[in-house]
Structure 1
Amino acid sequence: MSTAENSGLVRERIALPPLGHGSFRRRLHAVALIATLGGLLFGYDTGVINGALEPMKEDLGLTAFTEGVVTSSLLFAAAIGAMISGRISDALGRRKTIMALAVLFLIGTITCVFAPGFGVMVLGRIILGLAVGGASTVVPVYLAELAPYEIRGSLAGRNELMIVIGQLAAFVINAIIGNVWGDHDGVWRYMLAVAALPAICLMVGMMTVPESPRWLISKDRVEEATAVLSTIRSQQRAQAEVDMITEIAEMEKTRVKGSWSSIRDSRWVRRILLVGIGLGVFQQLTGINAIMYYGQSVLKDAGFESKAALIANIAPGVIAVIGSAIALWLAQHMNRRTTLLIGYSLTTLFHFLIGIASVTLPEGNAWRPWVLLFLIVCFVGSMQTFLNVVTWVLLSEIFPLQIRGLAIGISVFCLWIANAFLGLFFPTIVEAIGITGTFFMFGVIGLFAIGFVYTQAPETRGRTLEEVEDDVTTGAIYTHHLREKTDA
């Protein structure tokens, strides 16, 4: 597309009728709430292991290695689920794919709850992992494709808010069940069983929501897309958006074929894919999910007793929800690149501070557990406020429509692989080099992340997906002029 054509897209965006208010806005928020139940399940199923693992180890006779296998089996399966679901959602639609994922969530939960031993537990965790990975890929794309550009950041970011709400719910429910029924045999089964309820709600709720209008247009089903947009926009705005989306979709069909060949043949598509992979992997290498999975163990190493650690573990969960809520506001008021740079600077700082505190406050010091808990809470708060939401929002925005499911699937596959290896080896790393060495390691990685974001991350705030798509496929998104303009 020429510069003149791109300027035409900008003029079309500026000329769009205002978003306005009415029943269609309430409908949009209701659809988003239902879809983000997938994020809630993502959060609960990844967070519940934090408190369930200790009693599970005793009941199932887990060793240090099999403990890591139970935790990481979900994560490796999530990588596969992310890749597969991206392709499936491109072929069958976002809505049908999310419905299928709800079924997997329910089957996986039942399998884990009734697992008689290690093998069946791993099987159930694998099924849950396929669902979690699929949800992490498809739900953000679905939300971004439904959202008007004016509120796309906050709407797409709600999925991350629901993820941390799910994790907090897991921590709170684990603490309640662990302290009230902690003496019951198989108490961890109660913790896992709770996930069945939101899985059923997601499955039923997705039957009532529409398909992504952008996906429908990519399949030349323009009338259906217009009908869908008319339920979540004013009539005038719906038609104007359909015209704009259809225009760029037709133009990009000649550039982006919707297959692996488009990645092979276009250096700009390859570059944005590498950016997506980098954003996902560096997010995981902050160690955030190691805290979410093994928080109780880390706090026990810091000096808390077992039940006290289970309760103290709620604090990072609370700050994660607060941070994510703030991040939704930031998504509408601060550039994506700026948010990422602040986030990695803060998380890296707290990594080094945790390492320093662990050295200066030896085991047995009364202040050690409280100082480390405070710094861990600060780290989680920085992560959730400045990194997690904006990373998922960017991943849902930066890829062309024709390969959006495939490209985000590849990026999230790499994200989950990094997550899985960290989940598998985190207990071994802590055992080998302690909390001090572990967090110093995360700090060094954070320095590389800052450099990556500064040199590679594009800016997308305040622009339609169609404008972003055109700049990605032409390489304009990387020009110095555009970067200066968006960072201003």
Structure 2
Amino acid sequence: MDVRDDATQTPSPVTDDAPPAVSRRLRLITVIATFGGLLFGYDTGVINGALPYMTDDLGLTAVTEGMVTSSLLLGAALGAVVGGRLSDARGRRRTILTLAVLFFVGALGCTLAPTTAVMVVARFVLGLAVGGASVTVPVYLAEVSPAERRGALVTRNELMIVSGQLLAFTSNAIIAQVGGESGGVWRWMLVIATLPAVVLWFGMLVMPESPRWLASKARFGEALEVLKQVRSRQRAEAELAEVSALAVKEEQEKLGGWQDMKATPWIRKLMFVGFGIAIVQQITGVNTIMYYGTQILTDAGFASDSALTANIANGVISVLATFVGIWLLGRVNRRPMLMAGQMGTTAALLLIGVFSLALPAGDGRAYAVLAMTVTFLAFQQGAISPVTWLMLSEIFPMRMRGFGMGVAAVVLWLTNFVIGLVFPSLVSGIGISNTFFLFVVAGVFSLAFVKRYVPETKGRSLETLEAELRARYS
């Protein structure tokens, strides 16, 4: 299943001379839907600064600290597959509305948690929403977007994720400065997440359903009306004809679930590729930086308050790198961009390990490690993460797109869960340098996987891409 890049086979994207009102509508849909990404980012990033204060109030040990952090990830694994299934059955828009309620309830539960057990349960509920959003929002954006803008628009969700993380890091630092050592300061850090959840819910009330989901349910008239909101009339009619033909074919084949994954060879191979892409994104160790960045910087030599402030640099570079990633996705192919990101992250992790081992404790080591975490995030958020979520939203067949991405996201979140759970124990047992060296080895294997198995997806409509992948893997 060796897949090579072949830019000569990439068709020229179809242009769409849509009126300005249509472009504005598409932008509005993108902004509202990606509040799900903002919540994803805030709720995964806020624990970074809240954890040290929470540890004293709730009496956390190394084990319960890992449980509080990773319970969200376990919830996200379940939320991804349930959210994917739900979005295929009931629609992308209705699923996002449900997720907004879960985001609100989970954030409020975390804020008010009186004990570690309640915090773990509330973080699990929050994880259900995060996992569901990680699947449903990119699929919704991919299905609404024209082929030539799909990379840029789907990647806006990644921009909102890292913006949410930056918001978390910044608000954590401000609240810590204002609240000082007063008890319960972490509760103010957590409650902020309820606000974007309200915006997401009210915003999605007036957003349209995915036209491709409507077509998959034989609701072709409604699909055309939605396409007319985000395309020129001529483009909408031509695109509906292509989508409808594929919907009829998939209905005849009854594509849509576990049975198809087991019984259809080309879908099995696609799932293998999807699982691999998901694992590749996580075993760079990105979320050790997101969840434990403050602790890593403290270990490198920063004081606690300085580490919180310095950690904002990680959030800033993530946002800036994602802007660069969006720009690159319109100009270069996905696969080489993913490989370049892996080479950069692997080199940065190697240097974090070397500096932590070789440099004496003090400002020199602290700033060297900070420089490498920033470099790592530049490659991760500028290349690996946007390509991962984009490709997972593209490669699966229309009738099982939510399900397929959901199952791949389960693998992603379970990998994330395992890393989040064991990272504190690994650092405690073998030291931070050896822990990062393990990630370096994983990065080498990841690079080999992408080079051999991952296909190119740039420049095709979702329907053309599906036909190509069906032919390639059959």
Tell me if TM exceeds 0.5.
yes
Residues 371-382 of structure 1 correspond to what in structure 2 (within 5 A)? 371-382=368-379
1:395 aligns with 2:402: no
| Contact kept? 2:107, 2:126, Cα under 8 Å | yes
Contact 2:79–2:128 (Cα < 8 Å) also in 1: yes
1:60-459 → structure 2 map (5 Å cutoff):
60-255=58-253, 257-362=255-360, 364-459=361-456
Deviates more, 1:349-358 or 1:441-450: 349-358
Matched, 1:472 2:469: yes
Counterparts of 1:366 and 1:223, CA distance in 2: 64
- Runs of 4+ deviating beyond 6 Å: none
Q: Give the distance between the partners of 2:335 and 2:165, measured in 1 at CA.
A: 26
- TM-fit CA distance, 1:110: 1.0
Q: Is the 8 A contact 2:16 2:231 kept in 1?
A: no
CA distance in 2, matches of 1:322, 1:256: 43
Q: 1:16: Cα distance to partner? A: 5.4
Cα contact 1:256–1:403 (8 A) shared by 2: no
Label 1:89 to 1:437 Cα distance change in 2 as closer, same or farther (>3 A): same
Aligned position for 2:6: none
Quick one: which amino acid aligns to residue 67 of structure 2?
Answer: V
8 Å CA contact 1:78, 1:416 repeated in 2: yes
Deviation at 1:216, TM superposition (A): 0.2
1:462 corresponding residue in structure 2 = 459
Q: 2 CA distance for matches of 1:19 and 1:107?
A: 43
How far the C-alpha of 1:15 sits from its partner, in A, is 9.7
Whole-angstrom CA distance in 2 between matches of 1:19 and 1:380: 37
Whichever residue aligns with residue 356 of structure 2, its letter is S
AA of the residue aligned to 2:150: R
Q: 1:366 to 1:462 in 2, by over 3 A?
A: same
Residue of 22, 26, 29 corresponding to 1:28: 26
Q: Aligned letter for 2:77?
A: A
- Residues 19 and 287 of structure 1: is their aligned pair in 2 closer, same or farther, counting only changes over 3 Å? farther
What letter is aligned with 1:297?
A: Q
CA contact 2:300–2:362 (8 Å) conserved in 1: no
Q: Which range moves more in the overlay, 90-99 or 402-411?
A: 402-411
Which residue of 2 is the match for residue 40 of structure 1? 38
1:434 CA drift (Å): 1.4
CA distance, structure 2, for counterparts of residue 36 and residue 359 of structure 1: 40
CA-CA distance at 1:183 after TM superposition: 2.5
Partner Cα distance (1:440, 1:256) in 2: 46
Matched residue type, 1:308 = S
Query: What is the one-letter code of the residue matched to 2:397?
Result: P
**Structure 1 residues 205 and 424, CA gap change in structure 2 (3 angstroms):** same
Verify the 8 A CA contact 1:400 1:472 in the aligned structure 2.
Answer: no
Amino acid aligned to 1:138: T
TM-score (norm 2): 0.96
Q: CA deviation at 1:116?
A: 0.8
The CA deviation at 1:182 is: 1.9
C-alpha displacement of 1:464: 0.4
Question: What SS does structure 1 have at the residue aligned with 2:93?
Answer: helix
Q: Which whole-Å CA distance do the structure 1 matches of 2:396 and 2:429 have between them?
A: 40
Which amino acid in the other structure matches residue 343 of structure 1? G
Query: C-alpha distance in 1, partners of 2:365/2:199?
Result: 43
State the superposition RMSD in angstroms: 1.5
Q: How many residues align?
A: 466
The TM-score, its normalising length taken from structure 1, stands at 0.93
Name the % identity: 50
Give the C-alpha shift of residue 386 in structure 1.
1.2
Q: Write out per-residue CA displacement over residues 87-115 of structure 1, whole angstroms, 9 at most, x where no aligned residue.
A: 00000000000000000000111111111
Shift of residue 394, structure 1, vs aligned partner:
0.3
Q: State how far apart, in whole Å, the 1-side matches of 2:97 and 2:455 are.
A: 32
CA distances 1:200-243 after superposition (whole Å, capped 9, x unpaired) = 00010000100000000000000000001111111111111111
Q: Which amino acid aligns with 1:171?
A: F
Deviations 1:446-487 (A, max 9, x none): 0000000000111110000001111222326x9xxxxxxxxx
Q: Distance in 2 between matches of 1:216 and 1:43?
A: 29
Change (3 A) 1:116 1:15: closer
Unaligned runs of 5+ in 2: 1-8
Runs of 5+ consecutive residues of structure 1 not aligned to the other structure = 1-9, 479-488
User: In 2, distance between residues paired with 1:341 and 1:109?
Assistant: 36
